[in-house]
Amino acid sequence: MRTLTLWAIAAILPGAFSPVSDLRAKDGEEPPRASKTDKYRLIWTTSPANRVTMGWNQKSGDPGTVHWGETDHGRDAEAYPESLAATRVKEYDGFTNCFAKLEDLKPDTRYYLVISDEHGTSSRFQFQTAPATPQPFTFIAGGDSRNFRDVRIAANMMVEKLRPLFVAFTGDMINKDDAIEWDEWLDDWQHTTSDDGFLIPIVAHRGNHERRPETIPAYFNTPKNAYFSFSVGSDLFRYLALNSEIPAGEKQEKWLDEQLEKYSNSTTHLVAGYHKPMRPHVSKKSEGTNPMQWADNFYEHGLDLALESDSHVMKRTEALKPSSKGHEGFIAAPNDPKATVYIGEGCWGAPLRDNDDNKPWTIASGSFNGFDWIQVSPDKIEVKTVKILNPSKVKRVSPEAPFENPEGITLWEPKSGTVLTIQAD
């Protein structure tokens, strides 16, 4: 079942896409030659108020150099005050994945950048660093984009319309984990970039269809085992990207315990994302015995929200406490400040499944293409779930009101309410 039809897919598939920023020459001047770069992605893994990674594919020649600064100089690479050659180059699947880690950035600041190489200069891009003080922001969470490109592109276009601070992509970007599918996926990701070159950072997680352990580090420059964490707004928000495709115990659990111990008492909102759900809402999916090992860790340290994927349905739960006396290991604990809400299960373009395994503590489930649109503020987290329908008819969100519903958007409206609210502890 698919919510979208194959509407004019040729018109939205990559090829014609490129940010319009500065491709034209200044009056009376010849335009700079184009660099041999493509498949751009801005990546977060640590300290996003001061550090981001710019990634791209070098189509030919030596790896390029990133030039950036706070003033927009268009495609005039030499006018930017900062420059950095690729700090890591990874040959993988026939691509030359280049990464430049930009450091010592100012928090909550707009930057402009281009990539130059021996052939010329890329389009001009821009990005925003994370705030270093507590203030509201939005992010998008979802996964499982592996099959239908029309849905995937539509979802990516919707990301561009909502302009979140970042996207937590919780795995299964592709199906076969081969060069052909990654070539398509990376091209499709360009639809998250607006015509003015604004880049949305991705926080990349490994799913079971990223079969090779080295795939996510190769394309997104994550740590080797693809688990990491970062803060936004100082002690407002801590995000933990976990890897459900390797043992949840052992080194990863030790790291998780250390992170939660360090941040739980001082951080307002603790959120974790990973691929395999602990208790899938599709009957033919096996129980998540591996990630279930984290449930006690989450409860002990008061994790507020867990983002899951893999099952190709949507769900929301009560705040849950692990218990051997509960249904499938959980009991609803809505008034317990240490309990965790679980959402997600992945509908970014993978084949939809029947949501036929609700639990007594499930408050809503559905089967449709969509992702979760989340606002974090000092007093609460609010979750809306966006249905992927006709993104070309959706207006771009207002920068002055980043969580107000833009004209044309369609939200999930379960009986439990359109907005799921998690109050700050």
- Cα–Cα nearest to 4, from 141, 182, 145, 142: 145
Q: Amino acid letter at 219?
A: Y
Structural domains of the chain, with CATH: 36-91+100-128 (2.60.40.10), 137-173+198-423 (3.60.21.10)
One-character DSSP codes across 276-320: S-SS-SSTTSPP-TTGGGGHHHHHHHT--EEEE-SSSSEEEE--E
> What is residue 39's three-state secondary structure?
strand
68-90 pLDDT per residue, tens:
999 999 999 999 999 999 999 99
Joined tokens for residue 134: 């507590």
Q: What percent of the chain has pLDDT over 70?
A: 93
> What is residue 95's three-state secondary structure?
strand
Q: 27 pLDDT band (50/70/90 cuts)?
A: low
Which letter does DSSP use for residue 6 in this model? Answer: -
User: Cα(278)–Cα(286) distance, rounded to whole angstroms?
Assistant: 9
Do residues 366 and 355 lie in contact, with contact meaning Cβ atoms separated by under 8 Å? yes
> What is residue 130's three-state secondary structure?
coil
Do residues 185 and 156 lie in contact, with contact meaning Cβ atoms separated by under 8 Å? no
pLDDT over threshold 80, residue 19? no
CB atoms within 10 A of CB 306: 25
User: Cα(39)–Cα(41) distance, rounded to whole angstroms?
Assistant: 7
329-345 pLDDT per residue, tens:
999 999 999 999 999 99
pLDDT of residue 416: 97
Do residues 372 and 411 lie in contact, with contact meaning Cβ atoms separated by under 8 Å? no
Q: 32 pLDDT band (50/70/90 cuts)?
A: confident
pLDDT over threshold 90, residue 192? yes
Torsion sign over Cα 291, 296, 300, 305: positive
Alpha-carbon separation of residue 346 from 77, 185, 309, 352 (angstroms) = 40, 16, 4, 9
User: Cα(157)–Cα(155) distance, rounded to whole angstroms?
Assistant: 5
pLDDT of residue 22: 53
Joined tokens for residue 396: 């771009």
Dihedral over alpha carbons 6, 7, 13, 15 (to 10 degrees)? 140
User: Cα(18)–Cα(31) distance, rounded to whole angstroms?
Assistant: 15
Residue tagged 């030919």 (tokens): 60
Average pLDDT of the chain?
94
223-274 pLDDT per residue, tens:
999 999 999 999 999 999 999 999 999 999 999 999 999 999 999 999 999 9
User: Cα(275)–Cα(243) distance, rounded to whole angstroms?
Assistant: 7
pLDDT of residue 12: 45
The dihedrals phi and psi of 364, each to the nearest 5 degrees, come to: -165, 145
pLDDT, mean of residues 400-405? 94
- Cα–Cα nearest to 234, from 366, 49, 23: 49
User: Cα(408)–Cα(388) distance, rounded to whole angstroms?
Assistant: 11
pLDDT of residue 30: 66
pLDDT of residue 277: 98
pLDDT of residue 15: 41
Please tell me the least confidently modeled range out of 2-11, 179-188, 365-374: 2-11
pLDDT of residue 7: 37
Joined tokens for residue 29: 């001047």
